[in-house]
Structure 1
Amino acid sequence: MEGIGEWARHWQYPELPGLDLLRARYVSHSFPRHAHEGFVLGAVRTGIEDVVMSGGTIRARPGTVVMINPEVPHAAHAGTPEGWTYATLYPSAHLVADIAADTTTLRGTAGFAESIVEDPDTALLIQDVHRAAEQGNALAADTVFRVAVSRLLRRHGHALPERTVRSAGARAAASARLLLTQRLNEPPSLEQLAKELDTSPFALLRAFKAEYGLPPHAWLTGERVRRACRLLDGGTPPAEAAVAVGFSDQPHLNRHFTRIVGVTPGAYRRERAGT
């Protein structure tokens, strides 16, 4: 699979439930601003990845570990003309919480205080998880994964602040997100959405971006891709998944899915099916 061009493998190892794995080389590919339901733990092997966060751009090089908490919007692209190769783990929030409870004294919801750290030893462990999983060594993959996450939590972890909806704008944003979730296939316009919530379009736009880090239309695209992932996990063909989540056709799903996930829907589904 590895070569001088772009390549990627996004898959699940059945012996490690609750974990997705991505190993890839990207040059021209760029990830748009999006967020994940679970955590992102990435280790660059060669090149530089520029990760754009709300506070600025971080430069991920070999020896660093990128740690992104659930639902934190970010984008990414190559930081050098040669691109970057990396290994990334996507553990569920539940899986990280279990490891935190078992190995740390963190209280509340465990997460990470920083988005990038210099931690060469743990960066190598992340790559070792991929290697063991690809070799079918379940004992090694599970052990190294838990050691890596525990080490990151003990060195760089903290309790995430509880999300509370206090202001009228935050309440409107939460209501808007709920309505968009319920009307995934036929979402209202921004003006219609604002009218239903008794606010103005620009007030709703500002509140939504402040609360979720994305404008409503970008959040909706990400949510559709998440829903498509779940359908593909269950064996639904990409063309059917596209219509089910509100894309007009499979090419629209292909474009948005590939940009956000890093592989095509077909490649994603084949890895789930083991074919």
Structure 2
Amino acid sequence: MAGEGGPAARESARYWRHPGLPDVELLRASFVRQRFDRHVHEEYAIGVIEAGIEEYRYRGELHRAGAGGVVVVEPGEVHTGHAGLPEGWRYRMLYPEVPVVAQIARELGRTAPPTFAASVLDDPETARLMRAAHLAAERGDRLAASSLTTAALRELVRRHARPDAALRSPEAGRTTRSQAAVRARDILHADLVDPPSLAELAAAVGAAPFALLRAFRTAYGLPPHAYLNQERVLRARRLLADGVAPGEVAARVGFADQAHLTRHFKRRLGVPPGVYQRGTASAERNALPPH
């Protein structure tokens, strides 16, 4: 890895659960070749770039975040991610579930989970708080990590959230979603292991295949096959967190084998399933009070 002020020289990543806030997960990573496929998070994705430049597509635009920049991606929003320099980038990310951020917003007098007009923020104070919170969480300091994380999220909401507005999500902001797309999604959710072909899916919802493909992508930001793999990864993440072995997880969610699961999992979370499982499991053990 490069020095403290330089971009990444090699790839490394650690993913773990917050020691003081169980509904927050964290990633510390240096990436050079890593490319995140189009994907969504169920929670907010918030972090600070420590070195290099990350580029990502989000809400129809290509964003560039450099050292010291704070990045914000809202739940349910399709986005990508890759290096903006040959040397890559290094960053620290927090993934707080919606109720965590919503509670902080309520304490600030807001009535809805916050939304953000900008995705890349130039805010040294919030960046400093985010990094301090992340470092405390990495040390396993439950009190400091939870206090600093709460303070960092509070500053982010106070300084940068839009005026009270409904949360953008897969279920909000898309008033033209077709019933065919909704029914097709429900069919995919019900049968991750043996999904129908596009023609069979279209016939089941009473639509032509190309029309369904277009309607589904308009509704959910991804074509049905990519959405299916996204949903498989989300289900796999929950099973891994529950301690299910990666090989069994792959079979349960419909991947051909563990290698297939690993490939899709890493393209969306940045770490292999085993690394994710070990990090979250060890953090949960560390979070237990002493006997």
| TM-score, reference length from structure 2 | 0.89
SS at 2:27's partner residue? Answer: strand
Specify the SS of the correspondent of 2:25. strand
Q: CA deviation at 1:165?
A: 6.6
How many angstroms apart in 1 are the aligned matches of 2:111 and 2:280?
35
Partner of 2:129: 125
Q: 1:116 aligns with which of 120, 132, 145?
A: 120
Structure 2 residue aligned with 1:163, among 172, 175, 181? 172
Deviations 1:78-101 (A, max 9, x none): 000000000000000111111111
Q: Does 1:101 align with 2:109?
A: no
C-alpha distance 164-59 of structure 1, shift in aligned 2 (>3 A): closer
Q: Which residue of 1 aligns with 2:79?
A: 74
Q: Is residue 9–residue 87 contact of structure 2 (8 Å, CA) maintained in 1?
A: no
Provide the residue aligned with 2:239 in structure 1.
Answer: 231
Matched residue SS, 2:255:
coil
The residue that corresponds to 1:188 in the other structure is 196
> 1:24-43, aligned counterparts within 5 Å?
24-43=29-48
Specify every segment of 5 or more residues in structure 1 that has no aligned partner in the other structure, as ranges: none
CA distance in 1, matches of 2:54, 2:211: 34
TM-aligned CA deviation for residue 164 of structure 1: 6.6
Aligned to 1:203: 211
What is the letter of the counterpart of residue 136 of structure 1? G
How far off its partner does 1:217 sit? 0.8
% identical aligned pairs: 47
Q: How many residue pairs get matched?
A: 273
1:149 aligns with 2:160: no
What amino acid sits opposite 1:163 in the alignment? A
2:23 corresponding residue in structure 1: 18
User: Retained in 1: the 8 A contact 2:19–2:142?
Assistant: no
In structure 1, distance between residues paired with 2:140 and 2:246: 28
Aligned AA (2:126): T
Cα RMSD, aligned residues only:
1.8
Distance 1:23 1:114 in 2: 23
Give 3-state SS (helix, strand or coil) of 1:111's partner.
Answer: coil
SS at match of 1:148: helix
Runs of 4+ in 1 over 3 A off after TM superposition: 1-4, 164-167
Give the Cα–Cα distance (whole angstroms) in 2 for the partners of residues 9 and 61 of structure 1: 21
Deviations 1:16-69 (A, max 9, x none): 110010000000111000000010002100000001113211001122111111
**Following TM superposition, by how much is the alpha carbon of 1:106 offset from its aligned partner in structure 2, in angstroms?**
2.6
Mapped partners of 2:111, 2:117: distance in 1: 14
SS in 2 for 1:187: coil
Stretches of structure 2 lacking an aligned partner (at least 5 in a row): 3-7, 284-291
Aligned to 2:286: none
Picking from 5, 8, 11, the partner of 2:13 is 8
Tell me if the contact between 2:19 and 2:145 (Cα under 8 Å) persists in the aligned partners: no
SS in 2 for 1:225: helix
Contact kept, 8 Å, 1:62 with 1:120, in 2: the verdict is: no
Per the alignment, residue 228 of structure 2 pairs with 220
In the TM superposition, residue 111 of structure 1 has moved relative to its aligned partner by: 2.2
Counterpart residue number, 1:136: 140
Letter in 2 for 1:211: A
Using the TM superposition, give the Cα deviation of residue 166 of structure 1 relative to its aligned residue in structure 2, in angstroms.
Answer: 4.8
* Normalised TM-score (structure 1): 0.94
User: CA shift at 1:135, angstroms?
Assistant: 1.6
Residue in 2 that maps onto 1:256: 264
The separation in 1 between residues aligned to 2:59 and 2:46, in whole angstroms, is 18
SS in structure 1 at match of 2:72: strand
Question: How far apart in 2 are the matches of 1:56 and 1:76?
Answer: 12
